[in-house]
Amino acid sequence: MQLTGQTNFYKGKVRDVYTINDKYLVMLVSDRISAFDVVLPQPIPYKGQVLNQIAAQFLDATSDIVPNWKLSTPLPNVTVGYKCETFPIEMVVRGNLTGHAWRTYKSGKRELCGVPLPEGMKENDFFEKPILTPTTKALVGHDEDISRAEIISSGLVSEEDYTKLENYTLALFERGKEIAKDRGLILVDTKYEFGKLGDDIYLIDEIHTPDSSRYFYMEGYAERQKNGEQQKQLSKEFVREWLMENGFQGKDGQTPPEMSEEVIGQVSERYIELYEAVTGKTFRKHDMNYSEQQRKLEEELAKLP
């Protein structure tokens, strides 16, 4: 697709990003799915629409905390917004000992990204207060854990800006937890990306989606913890678990396994389930052919100043 005023194009793991007049971005969220920083062979129907619509709703719901890049969502899987100078880190915040944090803890380590982890915790336990475990933002390969001290000492982000990023991250996470609680969910962990427009910090990319976040169902959480049972969750972790069960962890030399049509359908339904659980809205599947999509985007771009 070539758009009027297009000055750059970037194909990410799951997004196609068009730069318009070096000032705006058109982000098309595809149905591609990645895990362990590898794009899997088969797309997941309606995944792009789910991610984009959840992100749009949460960007609107948090714009009083920090300005964000979004201008409009002309299509269910497309957002148009400002082009910002991106910070080279992702702000990961964790409310529970889950996923990567649990795997680190289970290996015997008691520190993650410079943050001490208390003894005696079980998988999925709440931290006393949310912890920040940032990562580098790799264009190719794996993101790497990094500490606050390393970020500042290496000059990746100034101390002044990083302090603002910490405050924004914790405030966004608190808002996300409040909204999730109203839906009977626990926002377990998530990540945020930020950029600058002039001297101002903006929230960019997606927010509180199943690709960037993990949710537990609140009902039965305490009982499952008490009994040592796995939590009922809505996130992409079930995809990672399926891959690990089928011998893939993104290591060198490994090839992602093929998903059956049944598994692809189940993954799609899980994404739709999360959309409805998080937003409180009924998901409506949207299909649009290539020419209609481009026409709609051109109409939207014509409105930009």
177 and 150 belong to one structural domain: yes
Q: Which residue did the predictor score with more confidence, 290 or 192? A: 192
Of 220, 235, 250, the one marking the end of a domain is 235
| 251 found inside a domain | no
Q: pLDDT of 224-269, one tens digit each? A: 999 999 998 877 777 888 999 999 988 888 999 999 999 999 999 9
The answer to the question of residue 63 being in a domain is: yes
Same domain, 74 and 142: no
Task: Give the residue numbers spanning the domain of 43.
Answer: 6-85+262-301
Examine residue 267 and state whether it is found in any structural domain, yes or no: yes
pLDDT in tens, 155-179: 999 999 999 999 999 999 999 999 9
- Say whether both 136 and 35 belong to one domain: no
* Structural domains counted in the chain: 2
What pLDDT was estimated at residue 142?
A: 65
Based on the fold, state whether residues 49 and 155 are members of the same structural domain. no
- Confidence (pTM): 0.90
Within a domain: 52: yes
128 domain-assigned:
yes
Q: Is residue 199 part of a domain?
A: yes
pLDDT per position as a tens digit, 31-71: 999 888 889 999 999 999 999 999 999 999 999 999 999 99
Is residue 274 pLDDT above 90, yes or no?
no
> Does residue 196 sit in the same domain as residue 267?
no
**CATH number, domain containing residue 37:** 3.30.200.20
Quick one: tokens of 234?
A: 């809505």
Residues 62 and 93 in one domain: no
pLDDT at 285 over 90: yes
Q: What pLDDT sits at residue 236? A: 77
With respect to residue 170, please indicate whether it lies within any of the assigned structural domains: yes
**Position 255 in a domain:** no
